[in-house]
């Protein structure tokens, strides 16, 4: 069972929503579409579902061209951010509704509903109405209704975005287990890199209507093919700094330099772009050989156990994520430190030429 997109694109009123995209998804896989708002995640999902027809290209399901096939005739289920349940029906009837439309027998419906409800931990609530449930339970009801169809393709468009933090965390843990049992192709859209990492499987990084990279989630995170993918797969986005390779050294701003080791040693002399994630910025150095940078503190954000520090480095805006709560003076000079092993090197056009040392070893 495969879903294959061959050079699929979508243009609406002269605006390109999806640039030519090739993508193959396999049975029993979790596939995350990761990107900011308006990156094309929902547009790509609508093409997969058959809700929209591509301007160019073809869509194949198990080797059959389904490009022009109606969504009703496909094995597709979709759950949106704004989850929908029928308030006048019980949870049982909500889950059973798509099977009744398909003309299934009462015995088939009952068995399928109870299996789906059990997967979603809704069995004790089957006789309740949706408005008697918590937000998380209502979303699980919507998910159960999608799963009960035994669809080969299940599309989830930011399904947890409207839930509170605790419920999101609970469902993020539950969802991969549920999907593993179902055996369908799952496509899950999110704006949050952390969610992609928690869900695992494969990730397609998206930016302005393009899939910039697709592969196993840890691989896309550790070895982004370009600066755009690195920016997408980092929250807050990756920090960047112009650098120069000369001989056996990489020279950074503030006159800092580090030995050009590993893949960096093979680079030609010239200008490049260094990238590093916010969680690798330190305000107290714990690493021998760490580089030191002079910055100005713009603002701090406390998250409880961690602090986001927004920095100005000679006109470049950086963000650091440091452990603990820190009482720092806004507008003051702040020394920050960076382990060279956590630095990615990109060409000036954005293509990755040397992954961080820790990523190569992972």
pLDDT band at 14 (very low <50, low <70, confident <90, very high): very high
Q: Are residues 210 and 263 in the same domain?
A: no
Q: Is the pLDDT of residue 317 over 80?
A: yes
The last residue of a domain, from among 231, 250, 285: 231
CA torsion through residues 93, 94, 96, 100, sign: positive
Which CATH number covers residue 111?
3.40.50.300
For position 361, what pLDDT does the model report? Answer: 53
pLDDT score recorded for residue 70: 86
- For the stretch 163-189, pLDDT in tens is 777 777 777 777 777 766 777 899 999
- For residues 282, 283, 287 and 289, what is the CA-based torsion angle, rounded to 10 degrees? 100
159 DSSP β-pair partners: none
Q: pLDDT tens across 44-96, in order?
A: 999 999 999 999 999 999 999 999 898 878 888 888 877 788 999 999 999 99
Is residue 54 within 8 Å of 80, Cβ to Cβ? no
Q: Which of 77-91, 147-161, 258-272, 328-342 has the highest average model confidence (pLDDT)?
A: 328-342
- Which of the pair, 290 or 163, is modelled with greater confidence? 290
* Mean predicted confidence (pLDDT) in 107-119: 91
170 closest CA partner among 156, 178, 142 = 178
**Sorting pLDDT into bands at 50, 70 and 90, what band is 288?**
confident
| More confident position, 261 or 292 | 292
pLDDT confidence of 160, banded at 50, 70, 90?
Answer: confident
Q: For residue 60, give both structure tokens.
A: 């194949």
168, containing H or E segment: helix 165-182
Return the closest-CA partner of residue 98 out of 36, 151, 33, 140: 151
State whether 218 and 284 are in the same domain. no
Q: Are residues 297 and 175 in the same domain?
A: no
Which DSSP helix (H) or strand (E) runs through 232?
helix 227-232
Whether residue 278 sits in one domain with residue 139? no
120-134, 163-177, 333-347: least confident range: 163-177
Distance CA 11, CA 360 (A): 39
195 and 169 in a common domain: yes
HSE-up of 171 (CA within 13 Å, CB side)?
Answer: 24
Residues 200 and 259 in one domain: no
Report yes or no: 86 and 141 within 8 Å, Cβ to Cβ.
no
Which of 195, 211, 231 corresponds to the end of one domain?
231
Q: What CATH number did the domain enclosing 251 receive?
A: 2.40.50.140
Are 169 and 294 in a shared domain? no
What percent of the chain has a predicted confidence (pLDDT) above 70? 97
Q: How many CB atoms lie within 10 A of CB 1?
A: 16
Cis peptide bond N-terminal to 236, omega within 30: yes
Q: Check whether residue 336 and residue 302 sit in a common domain.
A: yes
Instruction: Tell me what the mean pLDDT of segment 332-357 comes to.
Output: 92
Mean pLDDT of 351-360: 83
Least-confidence region, from 82-86, 97-101, 248-252, 338-342: 82-86
Q: How many domains does the chain have?
A: 2
Residues 159 and 280 in one domain: no
Residue after which a domain boundary falls, among 231, 258, 279 = 231
20 lies in the same domain as 114: yes
Cβ contacts of 260 within 8 Å, gap of 6 or more: 245, 247, 248, 249, 250, 267
Rg (CA), the chain: 24
Question: Across residues 1-18, what is the average pLDDT?
Answer: 96
Mark whether 314 and 290 lie in a shared domain: yes
pTM: 0.88
Tell me which residue of 36, 37, 35, 33 sits closest to 47, measured CA to CA: 33
Give the percent of the chain with pLDDT over 90.
Answer: 61
What is the pLDDT at residue 176? 74
**Residue 274 belongs to domain spanning:** 236-361
Give the burial class of 181: count Cβ atoms within 10 A of its Cβ; 0-12 exposed, 13-18 middle, 19 or more buried. Answer: exposed
Confidence of residue 43 (pLDDT cuts 50, 70, 90): very high
Q: Same structural domain for residues 297 and 189?
A: no
């Amino acid at each position: 069972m495969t879903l294959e997109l061959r050079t699929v694109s979508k243009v609406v009123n002269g605006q390109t929503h999806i640039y030519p995209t090739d993508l193959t998804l396999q049975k029993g896989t979790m596939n995350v579409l990761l990107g900011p708002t308006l990156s094309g995640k929902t547009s790509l999902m609508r093409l997969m579902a058959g809700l929209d027809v591509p301007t160019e290209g073809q869509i194949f399901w198990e080797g059959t061209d389904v490009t022009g096939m109606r969504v009703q005739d496909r094995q597709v289920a979709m759950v949106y951010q704004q989850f929908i349940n029928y308030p006048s029906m019980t949870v049982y009837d909500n889950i059973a509704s798509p099977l009744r439309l398909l003309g299934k027998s009462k015995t088939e419906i009952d068995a399928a509903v109870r299996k789906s409800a059990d997967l979603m931990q809704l069995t004790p609530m089957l006789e309740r109405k949706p408005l008697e449930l918590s937000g998380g339970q209502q979303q699980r009801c919507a998910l159960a209704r999608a799963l009960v169809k035994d669809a080969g393709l299940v599309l989830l468009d930011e399904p947890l975005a409207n839930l509170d933090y605790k419920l999101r965390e609970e469902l993020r843990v539950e969802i991969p287990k549920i999907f593993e049992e179902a055996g369908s192709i799952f496509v899950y859209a999110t704006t949050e890199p952390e969610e992609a990492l928690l869900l695992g499987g494969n990730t397609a990084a998206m930016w302005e209507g393009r899939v910039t990279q697709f592969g196993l989630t840890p691989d896309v995170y550790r070895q982004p093919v370009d600066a755009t993918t690195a920016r997408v797969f980092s929250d807050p986005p990756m920090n960047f700094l112009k650098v120069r390779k000369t001989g056996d050294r990489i020279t950074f701003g503030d006159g800092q330099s580090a030995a050009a080791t590993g893949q960096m040693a093979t680079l030609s002399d010239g200008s490049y772009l260094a990238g590093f994630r916010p969680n690798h910025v330190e305000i107290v150095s714990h690493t021998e050989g760490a580089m030191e940078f002079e910055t100005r503190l713009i603002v701090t954000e406390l998250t409880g156990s961690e602090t986001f520090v927004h920095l100005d480095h000679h006109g470049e805006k950086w963000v650091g994520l440091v452990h603990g709560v820190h009482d720092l003076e806004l507008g003051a000079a702040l020394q920050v430190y960076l382990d060279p092993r956590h630095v990615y090197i990109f060409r000036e056009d954005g293509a990755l030429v040397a992954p961080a040392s820790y990523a190569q070893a992972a």
